[in-house]
């Protein structure tokens, strides 16, 4: 529970610093252990490197016709005597008072026997003991002679790991080197001597101080990294709290190019979307109230005229009232349809329909009106027009597009309707002749209550919701609708419908 209540900055700091500290301490311990064990090997290698006289004597004593130094293997005394004659002091510890008494423990085996570990003993006991101070480096218990096949010839049984090996070689007449045997030296048992202990302790102390410094530096780096990583997170959190209060103009600044920079960019995109949605909502409410105000004002004026006796409640007055109510009802229905389309709740009754038949029916139904307006209406269809759609809703889209083209095309003019196949759907295009909307108006033609004030305004009638309703219906079918300049000089509306039921 305590860990869960900690701030994220402290959790990140503790995680980074703790992991770094554990890694550094583990490395320090492993290096320390390796140094302590490797130091003994280093001392043994150093000691064995000083046995030049003994190696030279073994080279001279080796006989090609009798390999393996059989004379030294005959008894332990022969080996010890040979070492005493040819071993020089290794330079560690006090030199022996008697030059003939080198630091080699006396042998205890009878003449003619070969040394070896006791039968069945995993760790044989040391062979021979010297007088106190006679063999301070325990050479007699550590030095061994092996033949070329690594078989023990003479010396101490290797009941400890051999950490130093030195080859005994000879050079043939052709210049090739041949290994005659090996001189091995085990690590010195027990603690190193005073000088070695001081050196080793100093190295371990330096290693410990380095590990401590590394842990401190890791903690400092973790602290600054935690602050660096969490600064954008705190900024996003503060910005989110401002968005909750309705400050949708909130934007965050960042120069980062990593994932945290992407997080800030996504936050700014979210804030921009919320700001645009709020402005669109306000515009929607304002436009809706404005559009409802006109029919309500007309209806109120007519009712007040009846109340004041200015008009008589005859059939003409009732027809006018009924017409105003119907226009108001249609407007409310259009607004309700757009609201449901925006919420994704527009109900569709899908079926397999031939778009050619739907468009043909819609074109023929409006052809008399087009003829009366001195407009030529053409229709062409290529390929298969089968789509999965709601027949009534698609007919509503066709009626809106044809009515929109009739209203805003100057007579004499032309309107062309065409159906084309594409890979996974059908394309419906409605082109008309001039006038055309201004260049910057094409993207806004499908906005609610939008009108082009120059040529497509209220004088032609309509509430400004026709193309917005078309977009809501087409998008509910999983398709798309767009506007662009027409080759005929006016407006071209393109509708893309998927052939299957891919809509929501």
pLDDT digits (tens, 9 = 90+) for 287-314: 677 667 767 777 788 788 888 877 788 8
Instruction: Say which residues have a Cβ less than 8 Å from residue 221's Cβ, sequence separation at least 6.
Output: 16, 20
pLDDT at 126: 38
**pLDDT given for residue 13 in this prediction:** 73
- d(CA 227, CA 231) in angstroms, rounded, equals 6
86 to 62, 105, 114: CA distances (angstroms): 14, 15, 21
Long-range CB contact pairs, 435-438, < 8 A, 24+: 435/408, 435/409, 435/410, 435/490, 436/485, 436/486, 436/489, 436/490, 436/491, 437/483, 437/491
Are the C-beta atoms of residues 58 and 181 closer than 8 Å to each other? yes
Output the DSSP codes for 279-301. HHHHHHHHHHHHHHHHHHHHHHH
Average of pLDDT values for 274-279? 84
Query: For residue 312, what is the DSSP state?
Result: -
Q: Is the pLDDT higher at 340 or at 14?
A: 14
Query: Among 491, 479, 397, which residue's Cα sits nearest to residue 441?
Result: 491
Query: Taking the mean position of all CA atoms in its chain, how far away is CA 74?
Result: 73
> What digits encode the pLDDT tens for the residues 107-151?
344 333 433 433 333 333 333 333 334 556 677 778 888 888 888
| Axis-axis angle for helices 259-308, 194-244 (nearest 10) | 10
Residue that wins the pLDDT comparison between 214 and 455? 214
CA separation for the pair 391, 400 (Å, rounded): 14
Q: Tell which wins on pLDDT, 186 or 334.
A: 186
- State residue 430's pLDDT score: 92
Q: pLDDT band at residue 68, thresholds of 50, 70 and 90? A: confident
Question: Do the Cβ atoms of 436 and 486 come closer than 8 Å?
Answer: yes
Closest CA to 474 of 401, 366, 383: 401
Summarised one tens digit per residue, pLDDT across range 177-187 is 888 898 888 87
The Cα–Cα gap between 448 and 466 comes to 8
Residue 491: name the closest of 410, 427, 422 by CA: 410
Tens digits of residue pLDDT in 401-433? 888 888 888 889 899 999 888 878 888 899 999
Identify the weakest region by mean pLDDT among 19-28, 61-70, 209-218, 454-463. Answer: 454-463
* Cβ proximity of 145 and 114 under 8 Å: no
* CA 214 – CA 83 distance, rounded (Å): 50
Pairwise CA distance, residues 151 & 184, whole Å = 12
Bridging pattern class, strands 413-421 and 375-381: parallel
Kindly report the backbone phi and psi dihedral angles of residue 270, in degrees, each rounded to the nearest multiple of 5, phi listed first. Answer: -65, -45
CB–CB of 160/186 below 8 Å? yes
Taking the C-alpha atoms of residue 121 and residue 157, their distance in angstroms, rounded to an integer, is 11
In angstroms, the first-to-last Cα distance of the chain is 45
79 Cβ neighbours under 8 A, 6+ residues apart: 72, 73, 107, 115, 145, 154, 155
User: In the predicted model, is pLDDT for residue 353 greater than 50?
Assistant: yes
Spell out where 119-186 has E strands: 143-147, 152-155, 162-171, 177-186
The span from the CA of 79 to the CA of 109, in Å, is 11
Beta-strand runs (E) in 58-161:
143-147, 152-155
% of the chain at pLDDT higher than 90 = 2
163 within 8 A of 44, measured Cβ to Cβ: yes
Task: Tell how far CA 411 is from the center of its chain.
Answer: 62
Burial class from Cβ neighbours inside 10 Å (0-12, 13-18, 19+) for residue 433 reads buried
């Amino acid at each position: 529970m305590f860990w869960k209540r900690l701030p994220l900055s402290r959790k990140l700091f503790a995680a980074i610093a703790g992991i770094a500290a554990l890694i550094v301490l583990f490395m320090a311990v492993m290096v320390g252990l390796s140094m302590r064990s490797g130091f003994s090997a280093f001392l043994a290698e150093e000691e064995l490197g000083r046995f030049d006289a003994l190696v030279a004597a073994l080279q001279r004593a080796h006989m090609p016709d009798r390999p393996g130094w059989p004379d030294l293997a005959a008894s332990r005394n022969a080996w010890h005597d040979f070492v005493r004659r040819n071993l020089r002091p290794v330079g560690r510890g006090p030199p022996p008072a008697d030059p003939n008494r080198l630091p080699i423990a006396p042998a205890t085996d009878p003449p003619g026997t070969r040394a070896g570990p006791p039968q069945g003993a995993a760790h044989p006991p040391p062979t021979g003991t010297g007088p106190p101070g006679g063999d301070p480096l325990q050479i007699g218990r550590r030095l061994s002679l092996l033949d070329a096949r690594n078989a023990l010839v003479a010396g101490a049984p290797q009941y400890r790991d051999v950490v130093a090996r030195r080859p005994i070689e000879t050079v043939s007449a052709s210049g090739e080197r041949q290994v005659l045997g090996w001189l091995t030296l085990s690590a010195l048992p027990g603690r190193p001597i005073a000088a070695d202990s001081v050196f080793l302790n100093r190295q371990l102390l330096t290693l410990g101080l380095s590990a401590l410094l590394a842990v401190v530096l890791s903690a400092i780096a973790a602290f600054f990294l935690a602050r660096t990583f969490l600064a954008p997170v705190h900024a996003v959190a503060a910005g989110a709290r401002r968005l909750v209060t309705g400050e949708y103009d909130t934007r965050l600044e960042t120069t980062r190019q990593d994932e945290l920079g992407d997080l800030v960019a996504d936050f700014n995109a979210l804030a921009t979307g919320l700001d645009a949605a709020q402005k669109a909502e306000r515009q929607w409410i304002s436009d809706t109230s404005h559009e409802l105000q006109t029919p309500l004002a007309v209806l109120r004026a007519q009712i007040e005229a009846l109340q004041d006796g200015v008009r008589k409640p005859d059939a003409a007055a009732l027809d006018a009232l009924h017409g105003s109510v119907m226009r108001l009802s249609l407007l409310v229905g259009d607004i309700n349809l757009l609201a449901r389309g925006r919420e994704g709740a527009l109900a569709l009754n899908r079926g397999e329909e031939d778009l050619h038949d739907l468009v043909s029916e819609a074109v023929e139904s409006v052809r008399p009106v087009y003829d009366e307006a001195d407009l030529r209406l053409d229709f062409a269809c290529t390929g298969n027009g089968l789509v999965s759609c709601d027949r009534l809703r698609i007919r509503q889209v066709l009626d809106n597009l044809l009515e929109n083209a009739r209203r805003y095309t100057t007579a004499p003019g032309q309107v062309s309707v065409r159906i084309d196949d594409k890979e996974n759907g059908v394309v419906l295009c409605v082109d008309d002749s001039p006038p055309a909307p201004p260049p910057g108006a094409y993207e806004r033609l499908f906005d609610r209550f939008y009108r082009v004030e120059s040529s497509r305004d209220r004088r032609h009638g309509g509430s400004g919701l026709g193309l917005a309703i078309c977009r809501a219906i087409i998008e509910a079918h999983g398709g798309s609708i767009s506007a662009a300049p027409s080759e005929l000089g006016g407006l071209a509306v393109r509708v893309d419908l998927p052939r299957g039921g891919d809509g929501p």
